[in-house]
């Protein structure tokens, strides 16, 4: 039986996280350390579930402080983290796969070639 609900644990984590000075490293470890006995008495499954919820809440409630990247890693919003654009339309995705098939290579190899060509000719 869980000591605290995931929601309550998440609220406590968010409260602790909001008090950290900007630039603090290893956010999850520091938050769980500050939870003290509550963290020791909670299961790692509960801690992980609460942390995943806390990351989303922190990025939504404090966008000036935190940013959640494409891999769900929480970072300080200090301008150093670039969020990668992973969206590609279905039409372009199909064209890219067809072109890779015509060139007898993978999509990754084709994109690498296109980037190299672009860099070479657009300096």
Is 24 within 8 Å of 74 (Cβ atoms)? no
**pTM tops 0.85, yes or no:** no
Alpha-carbon distance of 97 to 26, in angstroms, equals 39
Q: Would you kindly state where each structural domain of the chain is located, as residue ranges?
A: 6-76, 90-121
Q: b/e string for 21-53 if b means 16 or more Cβ within 10 A?
A: eeeeeebbeebbebbeebbeebeeebbebbbeb
Over its length of 123 residues, how does the chain's per-residue pLDDT go in tens digits? 567 889 999 999 999 999 999 999 999 999 999 999 999 999 999 999 999 999 999 999 999 999 998 788 999 998 887 776 778 889 998 999 999 999 999 999 999 999 999 999 987
> What's the alpha-carbon Rg for the chain, to the nearest Å?
21
């Amino acid at each position: 039986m869980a000591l605290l609900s995931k929601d309550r644990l998440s609220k406590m984590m968010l409260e602790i996280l909001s008090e950290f000075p900007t630039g603090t490293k290893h956010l999850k470890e520091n938050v769980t350390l500050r939870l003290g006995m509550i963290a020791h008495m909670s299961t790692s499954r509960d801690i992980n579930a609460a942390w995943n919820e806390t990351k989303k809440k922190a990025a939504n409630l404090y966008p000036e402080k935190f940013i959640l990247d494409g891999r769900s890693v929480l970072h300080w919003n200090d301008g150093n983290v670039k969020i990668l654009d992973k969206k590609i339309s279905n039409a372009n995705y199909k064209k890219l796969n067809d072109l890779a098939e015509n060139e007898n290579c993978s999509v990754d190899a084709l994109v690498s070639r296109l980037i190299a060509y672009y860099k070479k000719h657009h300096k």
